[in-house]
Amino acid sequence: MSRIGKSPVAIPAGVTVDVKDGVVTVKGKLGELTQEVLDVTVKIEEGVITLDRSSDNKDIRAKHGLYRALIFNMIEGVTKGFSKELELVGVGYRASNQGQKLELALGFSHNIVLEIAPEVNIETISAKGKNPIIKLTSADKQLVGQVAAKIRSYRRPEPYKGKGVKFVGEVLRRKAGKSA
């Protein structure tokens, strides 16, 4: 039995969970999330969610722990939310946003304009003498990670000077460069 899959998920106050036709819907103060669940039965009893699988097939065993983790992340997302912070390291690297449009100056001949999904709140922080920071927040963990990865993919941190878009707190592996 999956150690992750068999552990129950507690439903906190202010969160409602519904299961209909293999679709789990979680509603909370920060929004509503849905997830389709296949080959695994979801039971809600006394404020606790438990998942049971139909057989011991390898694929179904893998889905057992996966769906439990996804449901747990949905509940955590609608109560606390998820956030990622990206730091722009480099001379002349800037970020600004108007609503859901993010404009990045990353050393290319033109600025990159990104239309961010409406479920993700975006904030840019620019302080004098510090690197610009992009803060992404949402109830959907997967969507926040996907948007952050897309922004990072435009200019990955390089190993010699460390210039590029990196996550706040990320430790980069640096190289020595040429020896004189």
> How many domains are there within the chain?
2
Q: Tell me whether residue 176 is in a domain.
A: no
Q: What percent of the chain has pLDDT over 70?
A: 98
DSSP states of the chain as a string? --HHHHS-EE--TT-EEEEETTEEEEEETTEEEEEE--SEEEEEETTEEEEEES---HHHHHHHHHHHHHHHHHHHHHHT-EEEEEEEESTT-EEEEETTEEEEE-SSSS-EEEE--TTSEEEEE--TTS--EEEEEES-HHHHHHHHHHHHHTSPPPTTT--EEEETTPPP--------
Q: Which of 35, 64, 79 is the last residue of a domain?
A: 79
Q: What is the pLDDT, as a whole number, of residue 4?
A: 84
Q: What is the pLDDT, as a whole number, of residue 178?
A: 85
Question: Is the domain of 26 the same as that of 56?
Answer: yes
Question: Is the domain of 66 the same as that of 92?
Answer: no
Per-residue pLDDT of 52-104, as tens digits, reads 988 888 888 888 999 999 999 999 999 999 999 999 999 999 999 999 999 99
pTM, two decimals, is 0.89
Q: Tell me whether residue 173 is in a domain.
A: no
Q: What is the pLDDT, as a whole number, of residue 17?
A: 93
Q: What is the pLDDT, as a whole number, of residue 3?
A: 82
Q: Which of 38, 60, 79 is the last residue of a domain?
A: 79
Q: Tell me whether residue 179 is in a domain.
A: no
Note down the domain range covering 151: 82-167
Per-residue pLDDT of 140-176, as tens digits, reads 999 999 999 999 999 999 999 999 999 999 999 999 9
Question: 2: pLDDT confidence band, cut at 50, 70 and 90?
Answer: low
Q: What is the pLDDT, as a whole number, of residue 180?
A: 65
Find the CATH number of the domain harbouring 89: 3.90.930.12
Q: Which of 34, 64, 79 is the last residue of a domain?
A: 79
The answer to whether 117 touches 143, Cβ cutoff 8 Å, is yes
Per-residue pLDDT of 30-46, as tens digits, reads 999 999 998 899 999 99
Question: Is the domain of 117 the same as that of 137?
Answer: yes
Question: Is the domain of 24 the same as that of 58?
Answer: yes
Question: Is the domain of 48 the same as that of 86?
Answer: no
